[in-house]
């Protein structure tokens, strides 16, 4: 498989929709931050720490109640950066017998789109889409990167007396890494528990330095900040540890809010506010593992399930004078939709010659229409289709009750939920007896149409090497 560079200009890229200058984009992606953690989503002081800066951000832009993501870190990041279901790119799961995973060079990422559209690009934070040569952020459109290649739980190993580095070729310490485009990444330091506590502060410092460097540039910029908290282990920086006196998670919530405030203050100080789109969201629902478990508000389940607590993430978007301030919506949007939306704004390109699942949501974000352009999505756990969301209805064919460690259950007959009358998914409707049996047709059609695309373009297998 060679990299195919066939593109189609976004169909909606009309001159009337273009601002005088292309907007900067700052995209903050938290790691396992549940729907209900922030004050503006019902958390904050309920979780032991107010989040005034993030709550204020919500009042200055749009807050989505039904922003959907994939159910786990790797699939979610793949989907966000490619505009495609993760199963298509080989990232629905990570192979256990090989270090090769992540994005093939053939994939065209959000960062590459921005770069081709004349943007400067940078990423600081957790990658989790490849750890071998050719699969790092600077191989996929980011001009510079500082962060970790894999998961934060690798930080346990250096201080674990039972860890045996070298017991297998794949068993080695994880490192904080950095690189620039065209270079092989280098190890900056071992990613141990001390580095784990410090890294989100380092991400913030580097992001602020990047903003200052690019503030007066003629080029717009795309700054991607996939933070590492509140993924386990939850360890606050020294200046936040014990600050709330309400436990580690509350300390992290206060730290997260403060770091977001620093970013927003710097954007204002540099006079970038009016032409900068600022997004705050998360890769999936809250952590399943005690004592690190998260809070998903009214929604059932944790990440890596097909329940709403896994699929719904907080999402705030601010673009002063463009995105209506204080807007709140329960319309369905998926993280895949950011790719074509940004492509339209940047006069960028959406890849053709492959299945593409994102839907342009610019008019919705700008308040020109009340309805999202998406009314459905297919639900995956790893590489398995588990159901469909269509409007307020949900059809589940497979399920895991709570995170890892359980087999995926196959139902002999689909479970049906009306998320308006049963948001906690406690009372599955039996479509053999209820008056809303009709919903099986539109929901089923979503599944039939999606499966047809998988036959036309078979998914890349997890662990597939670059040619």
Region 61-71 average pLDDT: 98
Work out the pLDDT band at 192, boundaries 50, 70, 90: very high
Looking at 374, 408, 443, which one is the last position of a domain?
A: 374
Q: How does pLDDT run across 203-233, given as a tens digit for each residue?
A: 999 999 999 999 999 999 999 999 999 999 9
Q: Is residue 17 part of a domain?
A: no
- Would the CA dihedral through 155, 156, 159, 161 be positive or negative? negative
Q: Are residues 124 and 82 both part of a single domain? A: yes
The pLDDT tens digits for 125-173 are 999 999 999 999 999 999 999 999 999 999 999 989 999 988 888 888 9
Does 180 share its domain with 70? yes
In-domain check, residue 157: yes
pLDDT category, 431, cuts 50, 70, 90?
low
Asked whether residue 3 is assigned to any structural domain, the reply reads no
Q: Is residue 4 part of a domain?
A: no
Check whether residue 170 and residue 258 sit in a common domain. yes
Continuous H helices in 1-86: 52-59, 73-82
Residue 1 has pLDDT above 60, yes or no: no
Same domain, 450 and 330: no
Q: Which of 220, 221, 142, 227 is nearest to 178 (CA)?
A: 142
CA dist., res. 336 & res. 247, Å (int): 35
Same domain, 361 and 445: no
pLDDT tens across 236-283, in order? 999 999 999 999 999 999 999 999 999 999 999 999 999 999 999 999
> Is the torsion defined by CA of 249, 251, 257, 262 positive or negative?
negative
Contacts of 442 (CB under 8 A, 6+ apart): 376, 390
What's the pLDDT at 4?
41
Are 276 and 370 in a shared domain?
yes
Count of helices and strands (H, E) across the chain? 9, 17
Cβ atoms of 199 and 147 within 8 Å: the answer is yes
Per the structure, the complete domain to which residue 411 belongs is given by 377-456
- Classified as helix, coil or strand, 405 is coil
pTM for the full model?
A: 0.94
Domain identity same for 363 and 382: no
217 lies in some domain: yes
Mean pLDDT of the chain: 93
- Per-residue model confidence (pLDDT) at position 290: 85
Q: Mark whether 82 and 170 lie in a shared domain.
A: yes
Residue where a domain stops, chosen among 374, 404, 425:
374
340 with 219, same domain?
A: yes
Report the CATH number at residue 431. 3.30.1120.10
Strand 333-334 relative to strand 349-351, pairing: unpaired
Element (H, E) at 102: none
Q: Are residues 72 and 172 in the same domain?
A: yes
Mark which of 374, 404, 435 sits at the end of a domain: 374
Q: What is the mean pLDDT of residues 441-466?
A: 96
């Amino acid at each position: 498989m060679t990299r195919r560079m066939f593109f189609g200009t976004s169909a909606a890229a009309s001159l009337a929709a273009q601002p005088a200058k292309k907007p900067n984009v700052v995209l903050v992606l938290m790691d396992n931050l549940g729907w209900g953690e922030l004050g503006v989503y019902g958390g904050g002081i309920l979780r032991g720490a107010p989040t005034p800066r993030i709550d204020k951000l919500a009042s200055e832009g749009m807050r989505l109640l039904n922003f959907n993501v994939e159910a786990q870190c790797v699939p979610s990041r793949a989907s966000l950066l490619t505009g495609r279901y993760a199963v298509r790119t080989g990232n629905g799961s990570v192979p256990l017998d090989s270090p090769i995973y992540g994005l093939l060079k053939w994939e065209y990422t959000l960062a590459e789109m921005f770069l081709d559209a004349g943007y400067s690009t940078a990423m600081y934070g957790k990658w989790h889409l490849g750890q071998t040569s050719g699969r790092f952020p600077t191989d996929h459109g980011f001009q510079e990167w500082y962060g970790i290649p894999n998961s934060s739980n690798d930080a346990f190993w250096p201080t674990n007396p039972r860890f045996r580095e070298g017991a297998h070729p794949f068993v080695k310490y994880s490192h904080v890494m950095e690189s620039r485009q065209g270079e092989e990444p280098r190890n900056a330091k071992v990613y141990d528990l001390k580095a784990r506590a410090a890294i989100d502060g380092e991400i913030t410092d580097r992001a602020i330095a990047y903003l200052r460097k690019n503030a007066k540039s003629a080029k717009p910029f795309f700054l991607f900040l996939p933070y590492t908290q509140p993924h386990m282990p939850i360890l606050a920086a020294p200046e936040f540890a014990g600050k709330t006196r309400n436990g580690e998670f509350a300390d992290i919530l206060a730290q997260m809010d403060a770091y977001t405030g620093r970013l927003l203050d710097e954007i204002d100080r540099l006079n970038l506010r009016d032409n900068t789109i600022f997004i705050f969201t998360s890769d999936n629902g809250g952590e399943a593992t005690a004592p690190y478990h998260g809070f998903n508000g009214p929604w059932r389940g944790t990440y890596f399930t097909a329940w709403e607590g896994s699929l719904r993430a907080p999402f705030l978007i601010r673009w002063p004078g463009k995105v209506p301030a204080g807007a709140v919506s329960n319309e369905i949007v998926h993280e895949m939709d950011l790719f074509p939306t940004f492509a339209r704004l940047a006069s960028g390109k959406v890849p053709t010659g492959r299945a593409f699942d994102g839907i342009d949501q610019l008019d919705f974000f700008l308040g020109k229409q009340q309805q999202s352009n998406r009314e459905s999505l297919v639900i995956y756990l790893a590489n398995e289709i588990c159901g469909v969301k269509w409007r307020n209805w949900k059809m589940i064919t497979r399920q895991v009750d709570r995170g890892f460690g359980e087999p995926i259950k196959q139902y002999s007959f689909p479970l049906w939920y009306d998320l308006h009358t049963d948001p906690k998914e406690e009372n599955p409707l039996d479509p053999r007896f209820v008056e809303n049996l009709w919903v099986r047709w539109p929901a089923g059609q979503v599944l039939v149409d999606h499966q047809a695309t998988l036959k036309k373009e078979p998914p890349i297998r997890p662990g597939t090497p670059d040619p």
